[in-house]
């Protein structure tokens, strides 16, 4: 492939444009010699040629080349290429393939090359005048801490959760009167948070003046501590006690904290007394929450308590089909059923779906039974070997190229802290370990660090499918 390039020659009074035809492989060398002539379009052309060279046929094409096609060549020198990635997950994955990428670059440019990655910075929204402005509904969801993905429409209903679904709908139609408080409890991934968000979202859609806030139990604790330290408790109380709807996720986190329980007791009474609605979620019913004050236990039990059971086969199939529809992924019904038979954890369903989609990308229009068979290779969950905390530790450390002793050490840099948080997340999600046990395993002084890590990674997985896929692949490697 040949390119035509215009060189600008400056003289005393005239400017001449000289067209020069060069082979695409010489673009890089020409730029090295004349770096001031390179523009964004030439960087794009160079990167496009590199990708075509490495992905021109199915035998050469690999996963990391496919992901490289989603990056942008930001800068190139005679020994280094700087790539812009779209997310932390993509950057982490490609960093793990650094050697392969550098070999491919060196082979193409015929000289030793190294690669660096930077994450694209999202442009901040322009400030809009407060007067004569009605914020978009999505902005209201964000301010309330609500996830716009959680709706009643995309919630799969079955016998294991139909009572909870009906209760959430009732509260959304008549908040403060139907069931107050509404208390959901159950294991991870059964839909507690989804229903709480959906109920609040429905209220906000019908009344944008409603003051609603979704708050994890640990955040309520941290904000109260900060307000005491900064002597801003009045602002803290105004923020929470004037709400129309307060949703506290994982309310069991406030147990054992006397000052926090005292503050929440009065916050609860103020909101309910003013006709507001309180929605709570927990991994256990009120009477099983240890170190919870009796007066709070009594308040929590004064409304409707609903147990959400793990989804059965039919519900898992429905969830998988809903996720596929949301992401525009085509999957055969029988294939969806087979995945639902193999995977019983609802959060792992989405990761498996994305993994299957990545495998079929460019080969098939839809995920079929043949692809499912290849993916599972005839195994199922009943044949999984028992995974130990040390297995998880070594698998994550191997993936990120870190020593296990470093993970357990005092270093808090992002390069160490992020893999450590992923280990905490997997130990909690897959092994169902207690936060205190995880802290002890990783030699952390405070189990609240583990709580924060689990919430953080769980939130990132919801926003970043690539990171979710990375974690699922680490777990799959343990099987």
408-451 pLDDT, tens digit each? 988 888 889 999 999 999 998 888 788 899 999 998 988 889 99
Q: Distance between CA 291 and CA 294 in Å, rounded?
A: 9
Q: pLDDT tens, position by position, for the chain (479 residues)? A: 444 444 444 433 333 333 444 444 444 444 444 444 445 678 888 888 888 888 755 444 556 677 788 788 888 888 888 988 877 767 777 777 888 888 888 888 888 999 998 887 765 555 555 554 555 777 888 888 898 889 888 888 888 888 999 999 999 998 988 899 999 998 888 899 999 999 999 998 888 889 999 998 888 999 999 999 999 999 999 999 999 999 999 999 999 999 999 999 999 999 999 999 999 999 899 999 999 999 999 999 999 999 998 888 888 888 999 889 888 899 999 889 888 888 878 878 888 898 888 888 878 888 988 888 888 764 444 444 467 889 899 999 988 888 888 999 888 888 899 999 999 999 988 887 888 999 999 989 888 899 999 999 988 887 887 888 889 888 887 86
Q: Distance between CA 323 and CA 318 in Å, rounded?
A: 9
Contact 53, 45 (CB under 8 A): no
Which CATH fold would you assign to the domain 137-308?
Rossmann fold (3.40.50)
* Element spanning 247, H or E: strand 245-249
Question: Annotated binding site for ATP, which residues?
Answer: 189, 191-193
Give the chain's length: 479
Question: Annotated binding site, which residues?
Answer: 189, 191-193
The Cα-based distances of 466 to 219, 330, 332, 428 in angstroms read: 26, 19, 23, 20
The bridge status of strand 304-308 relative to strand 182-186 is parallel
Contact 346, 362 (CB under 8 A): no
* Domain extents in the chain: 2-119, 137-308, 324-382, 385-477
Of the candidates 264, 245, 225, the one whose C-alpha atom is nearest the C-alpha of residue 145 is 245
Q: Distance between CA 265 and CA 83 in Å, rounded?
A: 52
Which CATH fold would you assign to the domain 385-477?
Chromosomal Replication Initiator Protein Dnaa; Chain: A; (1.10.1750)
The domain 2-119 having CATH identifier 3.40.50.720: the answer here is no
**What is the structure's pLDDT at 127?**
58
Q: Residue 4 — φ and ψ, nearest 5°?
A: -105, 120
262-315 pLDDT, tens digit each? 999 999 999 999 999 999 999 899 999 999 999 999 999 999 999 998 888 888
66-94 pLDDT, tens digit each? 778 878 888 888 888 898 887 776 777 77
**What is the structure's pLDDT at 25?**
45
Contact 155, 191 (CB under 8 A): yes
> Helix (H, G, I), strand (E, B), or coil: what is residue 182?
strand
Instruction: Give the tokens for residue 132.
Output: 């004569």
């Amino acid at each position: 492939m040949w390119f035509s390039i215009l060189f600008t020659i400056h003289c005393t009074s005239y400017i001449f444009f000289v067209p020069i035809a060069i082979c695409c492989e010489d673009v890089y060398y020409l730029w090295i010699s004349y770096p001031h002539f390179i523009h964004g379009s030439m960087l794009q052309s160079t990167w496009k040629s590199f990708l075509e060279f490495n992905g021109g046929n199915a035998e050469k094409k690999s996963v990391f080349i496919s992901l490289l096609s989603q990056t942008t060549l930001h800068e190139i020198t005679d020994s280094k290429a700087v790539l812009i990635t779209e997310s932390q997950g993509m950057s982490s994955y490609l960093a793990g393939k650094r050697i392969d990428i550098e070999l491919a670059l060196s082979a193409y440019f015929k000289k030793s090359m190294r690669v660096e990655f930077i994450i694209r910075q999202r442009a901040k929204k322009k400030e809009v005048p407060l007067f004569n402005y009605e914020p978009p509904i999505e902005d209201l969801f964000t301010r309330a801490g609500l996830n716009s993905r959680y709706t009643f429409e995309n919630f799969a209903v079955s016998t294991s959760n139909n009572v909870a679904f009906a209760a959430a709908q009732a509260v959304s139609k008549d908040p403060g009167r139907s069931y107050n408080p509404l208390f959901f409890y159950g294991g991870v991934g059964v839909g507690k948070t989804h229903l709480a968000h959906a109920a609040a979202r429905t209220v906000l859609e019908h009344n944008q003046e409603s003051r609603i806030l979704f708050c994890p139990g640990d955040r309520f604790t941290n904000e109260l501590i900060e307000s005491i330290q900064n002597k801003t408790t009045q602002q803290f109380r105004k923020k929470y006690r004037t709400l129309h709807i307060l949703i506290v996720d994982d309310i069991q986190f406030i147990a054992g904290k006397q000052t926090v329980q005292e503050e929440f007791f009065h916050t609860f009474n103020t909101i309910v007394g003013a006709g507001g609605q309180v929605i709570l979620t927990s991994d256990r019913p009120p009477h099983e929450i240890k170190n919870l004050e009796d007066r709070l236990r009594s308040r929590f039990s004064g409304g409707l308590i609903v147990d959400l059971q793990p989804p059965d086969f039919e519900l898992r199939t429905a969830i998988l089909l809903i996720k596929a529809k949301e992401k525009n992924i085509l999957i055969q019904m029988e294939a969806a059923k087979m995945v639902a038979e193999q995977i019983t954890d609802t959060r792992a369903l989405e990761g498996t779906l994305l993994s299957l989609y990545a495998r079929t990308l460019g080969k098939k229009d839809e995920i079929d039974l043949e692809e499912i068979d290849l993916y599972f290779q005839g195994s199922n969950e009943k044949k999984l070997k028992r995974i130990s905390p040390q297995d998880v530790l070594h698998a994550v450390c191997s993936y990120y190229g870190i020593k296990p002793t470093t993970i357990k050490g005092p270093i808090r840099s992002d390069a160490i802290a992020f893999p450590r948080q992923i280990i905490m997340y997997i130990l909690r999600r897959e092994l169902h370990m207690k936060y205190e046990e995880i802290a002890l395993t990783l030699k952390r002084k405070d189990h609240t660090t583990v709580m924060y890590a689990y919430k953080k990674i769980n939130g990132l997985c919801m926003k970043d499918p690539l990171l979710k896929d990375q974690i699922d692949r680490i777990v799959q490697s343990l099987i």
